[in-house]
Amino acid sequence: MQYSKDILKTLAVFHLDRPEASWEDLKERIKDIAEEALTMGHNEGTRSLYMEVYDEMSNHLAEAASTGRFNVGQQRAMSMAGKVLRAAQDRLEGRPEGLVGLIEDLSCSTPVPPSLSLSVLRTDEPITFETLSGLFIAEREGNVAATTLKAIGFNCRTLSALLGDLDLRTHTRADMIALKEKVVQGRKPLTINKLLGQLTTVMDWAKNNGHIERSFDKGLKIERGAESTRKPMSREQVAIIMAHVNSLPVDNWKRWALSLGVLTGARIGEIYQLTKEDVKQVGGITVIDINKDEHGGKTLKNDFSVRQVPLVDGAYGFSLETFLEWVEGSQGRLFTQKKHYFDKPLNDALREPLGLKSGGDQSFHSLRHSISGLMKASVTPDAIMQAVTGHSAGNITNDLYARTQRLPVEVVHEALVKAFSLVKK
């Protein structure tokens, strides 16, 4: 695997260019870097410089982890190095506790956990799900969003507890049926299918990487009754929300964030990441360009999430002209507050005009279901609905097309105009 000189330099800093290095050696090197980052003095100039340096190094490690071949010790070290770099940035913002905790962890002389040790893959020892999932997660650290990795870890820990010491080299279909019987106890269909889907993902990865020869996990999911517990907003509810939103001051960020949620069905994280440059004209139609820009800190759920969604002027009273004036007055990111001060206030603002309480089955994400329902009611083809919501088609042919082609913006815009025409004026 060929890397740029900058990536190679970053790997060398952490001794990740040395495949013969043991975990203990790598750990000591990472610890030295962490201690230096914690104790180094800064002025305003060097503080800004090091913030950029840490950010670039984090990107280099993520790129290497996602494309390179590294042994388990190197992958573990790469994950820890990424945590140290993020904690070093926190320290520059006045939060040193992350680095302090990591240094304490690195100072411990605990051996490599069995789930991450190459020795567990010896042919004379059993392979448990804990082992496989540990290797699976180690390979993905630095390659997926932190929230996604956290969800994967939770699902894998649940499955590991249920499967216990079962040797997956010699497991049978009966073992998988027995697992399903445990999984369904006390859980909703949606949660059951998420766990069983995680099982299949890890088992397929294990087969593809030669850790096991076969798996018997297919066909376990519940086909009926697995719908999401999130309920869509009715057209009347959305109309109430937008009537309230349109009455807010034109410089109120909640007005525009909620409007974009209603008009595009975009995820709350996708809207939060939008920049001034992401609002653009394509063929004379205004769109929001939902894209991945890892250097700019943007992340998306998957490749299908990359899309351009047209904005329909007048839908639910939305003023495109006023919105564009607000965008023009922005610099860089449209929403500049910390993530926590974006998500919760926005959900609160959504519920306020409806008199809803927090913790119910309707939230900002319900707007995605609402626009999907509106498009279904207007008999919108599935391909256009997927182009708007950024969903997978669920089959190889359409998904491959979606990754390489885009429907014309004019076609998507026309479909949305038709859908919003169902809304009472």
The predicted-structure confidence for 44-78, as pLDDT tens digits, reads as follows: 777 877 888 888 888 888 888 877 778 888 888 88
CATH number at residue 212: 1.10.150.130
The predicted-structure confidence for 338-380, as pLDDT tens digits, reads as follows: 888 898 899 999 999 999 887 677 888 889 889 999 999 999 8
Comparing 73-87, 88-102, 111-125, 186-200, the range with the smallest average pLDDT is: 111-125
Answer with the residue of higher pLDDT: 143 or 409.
Answer: 409
Last residue of a domain, which of 51, 85, 110? 110
Are residues 239 and 195 part of one domain?
A: no
pLDDT band at 304 (very low <50, low <70, confident <90, very high): low
Please give the C-alpha separations between residue 30 and each of 14, 58, 87, in angstroms, as whole numbers. Answer: 6, 13, 12
Mean per-residue pLDDT of the chain: 83
Residue 387, in any domain of the structure: yes
Are residues 298 and 254 part of one domain?
A: yes
Are residues 85 and 24 part of one domain?
A: yes
Are residues 155 and 95 part of one domain?
A: no
CB atoms closer than 10 angstroms to residue 278: 20
Give the pLDDT mean for 293-301.
Answer: 65
DSSP string, 226-275: ---SPPPPPHHHHHHHHHHHHTS-TT-HHHHHHHHHHHH---HHHHHT-B
The predicted-structure confidence for 383-414, as pLDDT tens digits, reads as follows: 888 889 886 544 333 444 444 446 789 999 99
The predicted-structure confidence for 188-237, as pLDDT tens digits, reads as follows: 887 888 899 999 999 988 888 888 888 899 888 876 544 455 678 899 99
Residue 299, in any domain of the structure: yes
Residue 209, in any domain of the structure: yes
Answer with the residue of higher pLDDT: 414 or 9.
Answer: 414
The pLDDT value recorded for residue 245 is: 94
Are residues 206 and 254 part of one domain?
A: no
Residue 120, in any domain of the structure: no
CB atoms closer than 10 angstroms to residue 333: 15
Does 20 have pLDDT greater than 50? yes
The number of folded domains in the chain is 3
Model confidence, pTM: 0.50
Are residues 85 and 3 part of one domain?
A: yes
The parent domain of residue 203 ranges over: 125-227
Residue 143, in any domain of the structure: yes
Are residues 305 and 267 part of one domain?
A: yes
CB atoms closer than 10 angstroms to residue 184: 16
The fraction of the chain above a pLDDT of 70, given in percent, is 85
Are residues 307 and 193 part of one domain?
A: no
Distance between CA atoms of 46 and 90, rounded to whole angstroms?
Answer: 15
Are residues 292 and 416 part of one domain?
A: yes
Answer with the residue of higher pLDDT: 114 or 167.
Answer: 167
Does 295 have pLDDT greater than 90? no
Residue 356, in any domain of the structure: yes
Give the pLDDT mean for 315-335.
Answer: 93
Last residue of a domain, which of 206, 227, 248? 227
